[in-house]
C-alpha cells in the first residue's frame, strides 16, 4: 500500500461502511444509508470518481461545497444556541475524506508507506485531523479565530450597527466548516455565543 496508488475498492467500501447511515443528507438529498443500500448500482460511478480524482489530482469545482441548515431547537429561537446547525456535504466528498483519513492513519501508525509521519493532530485545510472533536481544546482554533476577527473589527472603528451585522453574518459562519465534519460541544457553542455578544 502506498499513497501514490489509486484507492482500492476495499478501502472505499470500508470508508462507506465506517460512515454513519443517518447523518444529515448532502445537497443531493441522499444520506449515506442510501449509498450503502444502493452500492451495486452506484459502485461503478463511485469507483470512477476515485479514479478520476487520483488521475487528475483535483476535485470537481464545488464538490466540497457545504450547505448549512439551522434547525430551531426551541420555539421562537433568538440566539445561536437555539439552533442546531446541520452541514450538508455531498456523499462522494465524505467518502473521499474518510478514505484519506484511513490512509493517513495507516501511514502514521505503521510507517510502511515511506512518507513523512507527523504526530496527530495536524492541521489540514483549517481542520485538525486526528483530534478528538469532543475535547474543548480541539475547538480552540475556532475560538481564537472569533477573537481575532472581533479584535480587527474593533480596531477598524466600525459602527455598532456594522459590528452587529458582521458578527451575525461572518462570525456565525466561521465555525460552520468545522461543524460540517464534527459535532461542536455545548460549552464551545456557549463560549462562541459569549464572544459574539
Q: By the 8 A CB rule, do 5 and 99 touch?
A: no
pTM, full prediction = 0.47
Give how far Cα 65 sits from Cα of 70, 83, 126, Å. 16, 21, 15
pLDDT tens digits in sequence order for the chain, 197 residues long: 455 677 788 888 888 888 878 776 676 777 788 888 888 998 998 888 888 888 877 777 777 777 777 888 889 888 878 888 777 777 788 888 888 777 666 555 555 545 555 566 666 666 667 777 788 887 887 788 778 877 776 666 667 777 677 666 666 666 676 776 677 788 887 887 777 66
- Own/partner pairs, 149-154, CB within 8 angstroms, 24+ separation: 149/174, 150/195
Which residue blocks in 19-72 are alpha helix, DSSP H?
A: 32-37, 39-56
Q: Is 76 helix (H, G, I), strand (E, B) or coil?
A: coil
Give how far Cα 176 sits from Cα of 137, 145, 173, Å. 17, 13, 5
Q: List the beta bridge partners of residue 124.
A: 127
| Residues 119, 141, 82, 62, CA torsion sign | negative
In 3D space, the residue among 167, 137, 164, 162 whose CA is nearest the CA of residue 149 turns out to be 167
Q: By the 8 A CB rule, do 118 and 169 touch?
A: no
Amino acid at each position: 500500500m502506498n499513497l501514490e496508488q489509486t484507492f482500492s475498492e476495499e478501502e472505499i467500501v470500508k470508508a462507506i461502511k465506517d460512515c454513519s447511515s443517518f447523518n444529515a443528507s448532502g445537497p443531493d438529498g441522499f444520506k449515506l444509508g442510501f449509498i450503502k443500500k444502493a452500492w451495486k448500482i452506484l459502485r461503478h460511478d463511485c469507483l470512477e470518481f476515485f479514479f478520476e480524482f487520483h488521475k487528475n489530482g483535483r476535485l470537481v469545482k464545488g464538490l466540497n461545497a457545504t450547505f448549512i441548515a439551522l434547525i430551531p431547537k426551541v420555539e421562537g429561537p433568538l440566539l445561536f444556541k437555539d439552533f442546531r446547525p446541520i452541514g450538508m456535504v455531498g456523499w462522494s466528498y465524505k467518502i473521499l475524506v474518510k478514505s484519506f483519513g484511513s490512509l493517513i492513519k495507516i501511514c502514521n501508525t505503521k510507517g510502511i508507506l515511506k512518507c513523512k509521519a507527523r504526530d496527530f493532530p495536524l492541521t489540514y485545510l483549517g481542520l485538525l485531523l486526528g483530534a478528538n472533536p469532543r475535547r474543548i481544546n480541539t475547538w480552540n482554533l475556532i475560538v481564537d479565530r472569533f477573537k481575532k476577527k472581533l479584535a480587527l473589527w474593533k480596531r477598524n472603528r466600525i459602527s455598532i450597527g456594522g459590528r452587529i451585522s458582521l458578527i451575525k453574518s461572518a462570525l456565525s459562519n466561521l465555525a460552520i466548516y468545522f461543524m460540517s465534519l464534527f459535532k461542536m460541544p455545548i460549552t464551545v457553542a456557549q463560549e462562541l455565543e459569549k464572544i459574539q455578544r
